[in-house]
Amino acid sequence: MPYFLDGDNLVGAALGRRDEAERNALVSEIAGRLRRTKARVVLYFDGPGRASSLGSLSVRFSGASSADDAIVREIAGSPHPRETTVVTADRELARRARDAGAKVVTPAEFWGQFGTGEKGSTRPDEKPVDIEDWLHWFSQEGGRDD
C-alpha cells in the first residue's frame, strides 16, 4: 500500500516554511522512520526539482502544476486507488483524494504509525524535524485552506 505525502503541507507551507533545508529535513526524517518497514512512500513537493529515491521513499516535484494535482492524478491513474493512503492536513486535498478512491490520514496519524527513526538518521548538517512542533502546529493550524 503506497503512501502519498503532501510534502509542503507537512513542512508548514501555511507558515511560510518551505525552504530547501526544511524539505531536506523532512526527507531525512521520513527515510529514517521507514528504514525498518516495508512501507512505500512517495513524497510530493510543489514546483520544480529533481526526483530522487532513498530506498522505499521516492521524492517527486510537481513542476508547473501543484503537488495536490500530481497526487490526485497519481491516484486516478492507479489500478487500485483504494490501496493508496494520502497523508495531509489540507482538507481540500483530503476531499479530492477520497473522491478519487484513496484513504486519507492526518500527519499525526502517519507519524504515530511509523514511530521514531533510527538514531543518527539525519546527517550532522541537517536540522532534524521537531515532530512535537509539527503536531502542535497541526492541532492549531492544520487543515486551513489558505
Residue 122 has a pLDDT of 42
Q: Is 100 helix (H, G, I), strand (E, B) or coil?
A: coil
The low-confidence residues of the chain, meaning pLDDT below 50, are 13-16, 119-129, 134, 138, 141-146
The three cell numbers locating residue 1: 500500500
Query: Which CATH number characterizes residue 108's domain?
Result: 3.40.50
Residue 140 has a pLDDT of 53
Q: How many domains does the chain have?
A: 1
Domain that holds residue 112: 2-136
- Has residue 143 been placed in a domain? no
Q: Is 58 helix (H, G, I), strand (E, B) or coil?
A: strand
Cα distance between residue 31 and residue 122, in whole Å: 9
Which positions ≥6 away from 126 have C-beta within 8 Å? 21, 24, 25, 28
Cα distance between residue 95 and residue 97, in whole Å: 5
Q: Could you tell me if 47 and 66 are in contact, meaning their C-beta atoms sit under 8 angstroms apart?
A: no
Cα distance between residue 69 and residue 134, in whole Å: 24
